[in-house]
Amino acid sequence: MAIYKLIRPLAFAFDAETAHRATIAALRLMPARKIPAFAPSLASTVAGLRFASPVGLAAGFDKDGEVPDAMLALGFGFVEVGTVTPRPQAGNSKPRLFRLAEDRAVINRLGFNNRGQGSALERLAKRKRTGIVGVNIGANKDSVDRIADYVAGVRRMAAAADYLTLNISSPNTPGLRDLQAGDDLVELLAAVVEARGAGGPPLFLKVAPDLAEGDHERIVRAAIDRRIDALIVANTTVSRPPLKSFHAGELGGLSGAPLKTLALDALRCFRSASGGEIALIATGGIENADDAWARIIAGASLVQLYSALVYQGPGLALRIARGLAERLQREGFAYIAEAVASE
Ligand SMILES: Cc1cc2nc3c(=O)[nH]c(=O)nc-3n(C[C@H](O)[C@H](O)[C@H](O)COP(=O)(O)O)c2cc1C
């Protein structure tokens, strides 16, 4: 944190997207480092995968799968790359990424800018496969058959992914969130499960925090019926809790501190709808070990973060992991799994 405090004003002197590109470029230049060791109490098995720490990097930071190993080396227990779409796409016009520093938040309307699944696959296929790297897949904006895009993504990316996440909750691809509704969701899940086949990686489903009453039960039922392995709760919000920053009025998905309450509420709704029948992964506004702990005791087996990294820098994942290990000890739990849903 001390070093990042010095670097941060420099990074913040650039617009958010330029600073992000520079960060990825710097991470690519970093010499390869080993994954750090974590307290044994932090290890858990979720969806058949062994996680050394429950603190993961959320999708969107490494959209093209350029730096998963650098992020694992920084102390993330798992890294989700993507969203990648079948074909490359430019995303929305710039500016489309905004820091809301006073709110410790971000608004983005990037619109799945990425170099396509082929390009990510090429890079990921060269990895040594140490540490858990998931691949988050989406549909192209101009796709005429979005379900077919997810099926193509599953087929293409399965070989390079420890798990696959179906992102049907980005607010920046018009109509994408409609896939969360009724028949479309049932059809999507049936198609991707078939495409994944028996030996493929676990499938996670990432949902929006902006759901109506009854949606949670419906999504949970569809996911359990199709044996989806976990729900990621949640993506960015289109709602606007009170914000102070200059960019508060920008269109797009809001993430970071103002999403905290909404994401925790959504997690509790999913936990009560599922009664523990499906694993939950919490994301949205997690800034410290207390936030991560609140999600775990509310039912999350794992957590992910992105926005807080912008404000707190690269030591954050390790700090949260250490804080969680201390918390487990203080509360008398031997393992993280014992604390899940214990509130
Ligand atoms: C700049 C930015 C880009 C994102 N891109 C994606 C994406 O491509 N796919 C996705 O599933 N989520 C994406 N997200 C959402 C995050 O994965 C996460 O769900 C959300 O930001 C809430 O977590 P946070 O408050 O810790 O940032 C993005 C978030 C941000 C801030």
What pLDDT, in 10s, does the model give residues 69-87? 999 999 999 999 999 999 9
User: What pLDDT is stored for residue 213 in this prediction?
Assistant: 87
Centroid of ligand 1 to alpha carbon of 217 (angstroms): 24
Among candidate residues 109, 94, 139, the one with its CA nearest the CA of residue 253: 109
Q: Which atom of ligand 1 is nearest to the CA of 80?
A: 17
Confidence of residue 48 (pLDDT cuts 50, 70, 90): very high
Tracing tokens 């309450």 back to the chain, one arrives at 261
Q: Is the confidence at residue 2, as pLDDT, over 70?
A: no
Query: Atom 2 in ligand 1: which residue has the minimum CA distance?
Result: 60
Centroid of ligand 1 to alpha carbon of 139 (angstroms): 16
Query: Atom 23 in ligand 1: which residue has the minimum CA distance?
Result: 284
Q: Which atom of ligand 1 is nearest to the CA of 259?
A: 25
97-100 and 78-84 strand pairing: unpaired
Residues flanking ligand 1, CB < 6 Å: 58-60, 63, 82-83, 97, 106, 108, 110, 136, 167, 170, 206, 235-236, 255-256, 259, 283-286, 305-308
Q: Mean pLDDT, to the nearest integer, of 136-140?
A: 97
Confidence of residue 179 (pLDDT cuts 50, 70, 90): confident
DSSP letter at 89 equals B
Q: Which atom of ligand 1 is nearest to the CA of 283?
A: 23
Residues linked to residue 303 through DSSP beta bridges, in sequence order? 55, 282
Catalytic one of 53, 169, 170, 255? 170
Chain-centroid distance of CA 239 in Å reads: 19
235-293 pLDDT, tens digit per residue, is 999 999 999 999 999 999 999 999 999 999 999 999 999 999 999 999 999 999 999 99
Centroid of ligand 1 to alpha carbon of 329 (angstroms): 31
132-137 and 203-207 strand pairing: unpaired
Q: Decide: pTM greater than 0.85.
A: yes
Contact 321, 41 (CB under 8 A): no
314-336 pLDDT, tens digit per residue, is 899 999 999 999 999 999 999 99
Residue length of the chain: 343
Taking the CA atoms of residue 156, residue 157, residue 158 and residue 160 in that order, the dihedral angle to the nearest 10 degrees is: 130
Q: How far apart are CA 306 and CA 284, in angstroms?
A: 8
- The tokens for 65 are 């799968």
User: What pLDDT is stored for residue 1 in this prediction?
Assistant: 57
Centroid of ligand 1 to alpha carbon of 305 (angstroms): 8
Q: Mean pLDDT, to the nearest integer, of 149-175?
A: 93
Tracing tokens 């702990």 back to the chain, one arrives at 293
93-124 pLDDT, tens digit per residue, is 999 999 999 999 999 999 999 999 999 999 99
Catalytic residue flag (residue 272): no
Q: Which residue has the higher pLDDT, 209 or 176?
A: 209
Tracing tokens 């979720």 back to the chain, one arrives at 46
Q: Please, what is the Cα angle at 47 between 44 and 49, to 5 degrees?
A: 55
Say which range, 42-56, 153-167, 177-191, 329-343, has the weakest mean pLDDT: 177-191
Centroid of ligand 1 to alpha carbon of 236 (angstroms): 6
